[in-house]
């Protein structure tokens, strides 16, 4: 054979779907930011390119309309949110799979995990398949978290094996703590067997009783029933013990108090299989705001707490005790929220404000870098649910978020894509704005369009 005959062709695509040029690309695995182009073909990443000649050659093979100039912008793997409430089935007036996914794309997300506290609960294969089929054409990838117990009633295990077969990436009774320790032990054993996390809403139900805000000086002053932080701490401590006993994998949702952050920090140091998330409202809001505003959008479970708790949550984010930032996007109708504080359902929407809150309250204040923030919103959540997402590796689904890092904007809930507007952040001035969201190489959200 002649040398000419054995010469192998470098596999370059005939054409590219999309080339994103000029932006500062964040690689959350390497922890780098570098000016580079991202080349995409067949909905997948081909390469992150810094060589000008190769970039120009790729641009020549791409339709002009599909070359995106991201100069002055940050380009990151598509954001991932482990904690979102879509209200379908059951409350389609508050959010549907499609509307929630559109809100997610507007917030920079290309993947969200939806919680099972729908009506009926997502506790069987049929309901999982229904949500997945609704999501097929949505603006963002929707992964399903199945109920850990039947009807989320905390009495009997759900058919976790069946749920896994139908495609759930985790189980949870979110909204409620799995109070029965024996049941939680079994859930953890299943979590180990199927290698999926149990996402736990950690608040002991007896200690929270019918409390509606943090139990503190603020609640005593208002004469409002409180939910003490120790309810979360005890719940977390029990689950740490059970996780270490069973070898199961527990993920603590929306960590909100000093004691729980400390408990998780210690457990991680001891090698327990535990991960944790924090939500923007727990690192930006304190319970004395309820005194001043009595805004029912400030009612959330677990509740917003004191400055010491906010500081502890931020310290946990900084030192890695808290692995990821999630929104706990919880849509509720205006009618349901326009009532007395203790009558309002808990929860606030979060998908369309999280990026600006992270930029303004964590990055601009010097707590974490852009790279660290993006890790907590991409590769870290992807690892928790064991999905090959959240980074820029060749062959991965070409999911990207383009961010204007310093753009200032004011939160206007009337512009939300979500069907619900229940946010306490309306009118807040934030810095850092999502400009474009790309899913599988296709633009699914473009600001202003
Ligand atoms: O405030 C909350 N709202 N916390 C939860 O855990 C559930 C959520 C909801 O579904 O509305």
Half-sphere exposure of 85 (CA within 13 A, CB side): 24
Q: Is the CB of 107 under 6 A from ligand 1?
A: no
Q: How far is CA 139 from CA 45, 115, 368, in A?
A: 19, 18, 29
The predicted pLDDT at position 11 comes to 67
Q: At what angle do helices 258-269 and 307-319 cross, to 10 degrees?
A: 20
Structure confidence by residue, pLDDT tens digits, 415-426: 999 999 999 999
Gap from CA of 288 to ligand 1 centroid (Å): 21
Whether residue 315 is predicted with pLDDT greater than 50 in this model: the reply is yes
The number of beta carbons lying within 10 Å of the beta carbon of residue 225 is 14
Gap from CA of 175 to ligand 1 centroid (Å): 5
Nearest residue by C-alpha to atom 5 in ligand 1? 175
Phi, psi dihedrals of residue 293, rounded to the nearest 5° = -115, -25
Q: Is the CB of 118 under 6 A from ligand 1?
A: no
* DSSP run (H or E) holding 376: none
The answer, yes or no, to whether the previous bond of 13 is cis (omega within 30 of 0) is no
User: Three-state SS for 3?
Assistant: helix
Sign for the CA dihedral angle at 213, 216, 217, 220 comes to: positive
Mean pLDDT computed over 147-157: 98
Q: Is the CB of 350 under 6 A from ligand 1?
A: no
Mean pLDDT computed over 298-309: 98
The predicted pLDDT at position 3 comes to 42
Whether residue 1 is predicted with pLDDT greater than 70 in this model: the reply is no
Nearest residue by C-alpha to atom 9 in ligand 1? 330
Whether residue 4 is predicted with pLDDT greater than 70 in this model: the reply is no
DSSP for 396-437 reads SB--EEEEEEEEEEE--GGG-SSS----TTTT-EEEEEEEEE
The predicted pLDDT at position 207 comes to 98
Residue partners of 154: CB distance under 8 A and separation at least 6? 173, 176, 177, 178, 179, 180, 183
Strands 141-147, 109-114: parallel, antiparallel or unpaired by DSSP? parallel
Nearest residue by C-alpha to atom 7 in ligand 1? 175
Gap from CA of 239 to ligand 1 centroid (Å): 20
Whether residue 2 is predicted with pLDDT greater than 90 in this model: the reply is no
Query: Which numbered atom of ligand 1 lies nearest the CA of 174?
Result: 6
Residue 124 falls in the annotated catalytic set? no
The predicted pLDDT at position 448 comes to 83
Sort 383 into a burial class: Cβ within 10 Å, 0-12 / 13-18 / 19+: middle
Whether residue 98 is predicted with pLDDT greater than 60 in this model: the reply is yes
Gap from CA of 176 to ligand 1 centroid (Å): 9
Distance CA 160, CA 148 (A): 7
- Domain 78-384 coded CATH 3.20.20.140: yes
Nearest residue by C-alpha to atom 4 in ligand 1? 301
Gap from CA of 279 to ligand 1 centroid (Å): 12
Per 3-state DSSP, the chain is made up of helix, strand and coil in percentages (nearest 5) of 35, 20, 40
pLDDT band at 12 (very low <50, low <70, confident <90, very high): confident
Strands 198-200, 213-214: parallel, antiparallel or unpaired by DSSP? unpaired
The number of beta carbons lying within 10 Å of the beta carbon of residue 153 is 13
Gap from CA of 445 to ligand 1 centroid (Å): 26
Strands 74-77, 400-410: parallel, antiparallel or unpaired by DSSP? antiparallel
Ligand 1 pocket mutation pick from 211, 255, 346, 351 by most atoms within 8 angstroms of CB: 346
Ligand 1 pocket mutation pick from 201, 254, 328 by most atoms within 8 angstroms of CB: 328
Q: Is the CB of 201 under 6 A from ligand 1?
A: yes
Whether residue 263 is predicted with pLDDT greater than 90 in this model: the reply is yes
Sort 29 into a burial class: Cβ within 10 Å, 0-12 / 13-18 / 19+: middle
Half-sphere exposure of 403 (CA within 13 A, CB side): 29
Q: Is the CB of 117 under 6 A from ligand 1?
A: yes
Mean pLDDT computed over 314-329: 98
Asked if 396 contacts 403 with a C-beta cutoff of 8 angstroms, the reply is no
pLDDT band at 10 (very low <50, low <70, confident <90, very high): very low
Q: Is the CB of 174 under 6 A from ligand 1?
A: yes
Q: Is the CB of 300 under 6 A from ligand 1?
A: yes
pLDDT band at 5 (very low <50, low <70, confident <90, very high): very low
Closest CA to 124 of 151, 97, 106: 151
Gap from CA of 34 to ligand 1 centroid (Å): 39
Q: Is the CB of 347 under 6 A from ligand 1?
A: yes
Q: How do the domains of the chain map onto residue ranges?
A: 78-384
Average pLDDT of the chain to the nearest whole number: 96
Q: At what angle do helices 97-106 and 125-134 cross, to 10 degrees?
A: 50
Structure confidence by residue, pLDDT tens digits, 359-405: 999 999 999 999 999 999 999 999 999 999 999 999 999 999 999 99
Mean pLDDT computed over 118-128: 98
Whether residue 8 is predicted with pLDDT greater than 80 in this model: the reply is no
The catalytically annotated residue of 328, 391, 399, 404 is 328
Closest CA to 348 of 79, 85, 82: 85
pTM over 0.85: yes
pLDDT band at 449 (very low <50, low <70, confident <90, very high): confident
Ligand 1 pocket mutation pick from 301, 336, 342 by most atoms within 8 angstroms of CB: 301
Q: Is the CB of 330 under 6 A from ligand 1?
A: yes
Structure confidence by residue, pLDDT tens digits, 190-245: 999 999 999 999 999 999 999 999 999 999 999 999 999 999 999 999 999 999 99
Q: Is the CB of 85 under 6 A from ligand 1?
A: yes
Q: How far is CA 419 from CA 92, 119, 307, 337, in A?
A: 9, 17, 31, 14
Distance CA 400, CA 237 (A): 37
Structure confidence by residue, pLDDT tens digits, 16-32: 999 999 999 999 999 99
Share of the chain above pLDDT 70, in %: 97
């Amino acid at each position: 054979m002649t040398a000419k005959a054995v010469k192998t062709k470098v596999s370059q695509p005939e054409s590219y779907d999309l080339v994103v040029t000029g932006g500062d690309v964040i690689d959350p695995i390497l922890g780098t930011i570098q000016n580079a182009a991202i080349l995409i073909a067949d909905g997948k990443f081909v390469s992150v390119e810094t060589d000008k000649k190769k970039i120009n050659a790729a641009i020549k093979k791409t339709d002009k309309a599909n070359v995106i100039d991201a100069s002055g912008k940050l380009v990151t793997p598509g954001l991932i949110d482990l904690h979102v409430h879509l209200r379908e089935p059951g409350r389609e007036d508050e959010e549907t799979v499609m509307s929630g996914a559109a809100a997610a794309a507007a917030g920079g997300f290309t993947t969200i995990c939806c919680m099972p506290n729908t009506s009926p609960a997502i506790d069987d294969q049929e309901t999982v398949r229904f949500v997945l089929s609704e999501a097929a054409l949505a603006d963002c990838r929707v992964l399903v978290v199945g109920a850990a117990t039947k009807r989320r009633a905390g009495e009997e295990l759900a058919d976790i094996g069946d749920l896994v077969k139908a495609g759930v990436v985790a189980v949870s009774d979110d909204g409620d703590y799995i109070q029965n320790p024996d049941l939680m032990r079994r859930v953890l054993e299943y979590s180990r067997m199927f290698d999926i996390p149990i996402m736990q809403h950690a608040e002991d139900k007896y200690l929270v009783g019918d409390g509606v805000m943090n139990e503190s000086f603020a609640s005593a002053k208002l004469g409002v029933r409180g939910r003490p932080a120790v309810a979360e701490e005890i719940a977390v401590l029990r689950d740490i013990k059970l996780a270490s006993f069973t070898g199961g994998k527990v993920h603590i949702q929306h960590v909100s108090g000093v004691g729980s952050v400390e408990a998780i920090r210690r457990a991680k140091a001891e090698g327990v299989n535990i991960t944790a998330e924090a939500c923007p409202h727990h690192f930006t809001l304190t319970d004395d705001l309820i005194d001043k505003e009595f805004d029912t959008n400030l009612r959330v479970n677990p509740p917003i707490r004191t400055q010491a708790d906010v500081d502890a949550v931020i310290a946990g984010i900084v030192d890695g005790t808290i692995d990821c930032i999630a929104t706990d996007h919880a849509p509720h109708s205006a009618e349901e929220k326009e009532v007395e504080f203790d009558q309002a359902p808990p929860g606030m929407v979060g998908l369309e404000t999280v990026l600006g809150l992270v930029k303004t309250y964590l990055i601009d204040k010097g707590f974490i870098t852009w790279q660290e923030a993006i890790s907590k919103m991409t590769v870290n959540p992807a690892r928790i649910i064991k999905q090959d997402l959240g980074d820029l590796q060749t062959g991965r689904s070409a999911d990207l978020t383009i961010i204007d890092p310093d753009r200032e904007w004011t939160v206007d809930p009337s512009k939300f894509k979500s069907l619900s507007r229940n946010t306490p952040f309306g009118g807040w001035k934030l810095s850092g704005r999502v400009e474009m969201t790309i899913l599988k190489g296709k633009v699914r959200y473009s600001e202003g369009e």
